[in-house]
Structure 1
Amino acid sequence: MSPLKVTQVRSTIDSVGSHKRTVRALGLKRIRDSRVHEDTPQMRGMIHKVRHLVRVEEVQEVDSK
Structure 2
Amino acid sequence: MIPSSTRTGILVGAVLALTWIVLGFWAFFFVAVAMALGALIGRIVDGKLSVAGLVDAFRGKRSSS
Higher helix share: 2
Return the TM-score normalized by structure 1.
Answer: 0.28
Structure of larger gyration radius: 2
Return the TM-score normalized by structure 2.
Answer: 0.28
Higher strand share: 1
